[in-house]
Amino acid sequence: MAEIEFREAIRDALAEELERDERVVVFGEDVAAAGGVFVTTPGLFEKFGPERVFDTPISELALAGAAFGSAVCGLRPVIEIMFGDFLPLVMDSLVNQASKYFYISNEQASVPLVVRSAVGAGGRFGAIHSQSPVTWFQAVPGLKLVAPSTPSDAKALLKGAIRDDNPVLFLEHKRLYSLKEEVIGHGSEVIGLGSAAVRREGSDVTLVSVMKGVHDCLAAAELLASDGIDAEVIDLRTLRPLDRGAIAESLSKTNRLAAVEEGPRTGGWAGEVLAVAAEESLDDVDDLWRITTPEHPIPYSPTLEDAFLPGAEAIAASVRARLGVAAGRS
């Protein structure tokens, strides 16, 4: 099977679900005729027509409200919110309506909607086009949060998200869109939400991340290998629900865990991972810590943004420091 880009994996998942289930509709700003500002939806409008794939006004409140109401009444909408930074505008429908509905209606109807949104820094887009706003949504029961790191996973998880019967926020890291990979299993897989993947096995320390952070952790693991440190890398893939078992299992081997988050430390999801680790695995734990961004908005200037983000070098340096190992030991 040929290699495909992350953005193509997204498009393929949408195309296959549009094909499979006529209740699926895709709408958002410039997703139809233009094929999406991140080129994730080209060809869908041409193939499925304006009833199934359409451009909306720049009206996020209406977009999210329409997704909610239509999901309650029989459609399975997938909407695109161009940048994750714009998600506060959809929060009311998503948080106060869609995520509560299944429960408070006493399960009369589910709300099968997906909100796709591009997140992440590193592109010099500044403070209001670069955030990864996971934790604004993490405390919302009834909402699932997906954050894939590879094209295969993006495809299988998006299909899983569309087939999920209640609201899913599906985050796509901008720096991954051009990442290429051979999509395994003929690409027809569907991954149910809530399971992590071990990306690299190791015995000395566990690095936990999502999206681009997984790749940074894998690169850090290579750097650490040359210092004689054997790191395990876990890709959570879904941030709500968290795969608590995967965290506990890894800790039972490594006894040390760092959660690497592209976001501020205060109130971040990394703190949730550490809480789970402490709750489930206290006897196994020698060390738990977080590697995050500083407590200020994302800066624009390249020198500042690069220093702001926890890249492979910073992760490796943090692990060495915590383990008391000097660089280049072996």
Ligand X SMILES: Cc1ncc(C[n+]2csc(CCOP(=O)(O)OP(=O)(O)O)c2C)c(N)n1
- Write out the catalytic residue numbers: 129
Q: Does 62 bind ligand X (CB under 6 A)?
A: no
Question: Which secondary-structure segment (H or E) carries 276?
Answer: helix 269-281
Distance CA 148, CA 10 (A): 11
Under the criterion CB under 8 A, does residue 282 sit at the interface with another protein?
no
Q: Where are the beta strands (DSSP E) in 153-214?
A: 168-173, 180-182, 197-200, 205-209
Closest contact distance (angstroms) between CB of 108 and another protein is: 29
- Residue partners of 75: CB distance under 8 A and separation at least 6: 23, 24, 25
Binding residue (CB under 6 A) for ligand X from 89, 109, 317, 325: 89
Alpha-carbon distance values, 265 to 28, 135, 260, 294, 316 (Å): 32, 11, 10, 7, 18
Nearer to another protein, 57 or 74 (CB): 57
Report the DSSP pairing between strands 197-200 and 53-55: unpaired
CA distance 132 to 85: 8
Pairwise CA distance, residues 208 & 258, whole Å: 6
CA distance 166 to 140: 13
The listed partner (another protein, ligand X, none) that binds 55, CB under 5 to 8 Å by sort, is another protein
30/181 with CB nearer another protein? 30
List the x/- string, 110-149, binding to another protein by CB under 8 A.
-------------xxxxxxx--------------------
262 binds another protein (CB under 8 A): no
**Residue count at the site for another protein (CB under 8 A)?**
34
Q: How many residues does the chain have?
A: 330
For ligand X, what does the binding mask look like between residues 28 and 57, x meaning CB under 6 A? Answer: -x----------------------------
Instruction: Name the token pair of 280.
Output: 């489930």
- Per CB under 6 A, 64 contacts ligand X: no
Question: Which residues contact ligand X (rule: CB under 6 A)?
Answer: 29, 58, 60, 82, 86, 89
Question: Which residues contact another protein (rule: CB under 8 A)?
Answer: 29-30, 33-34, 37, 55-61, 85-86, 89, 123-129, 294-297, 299-304, 306-307
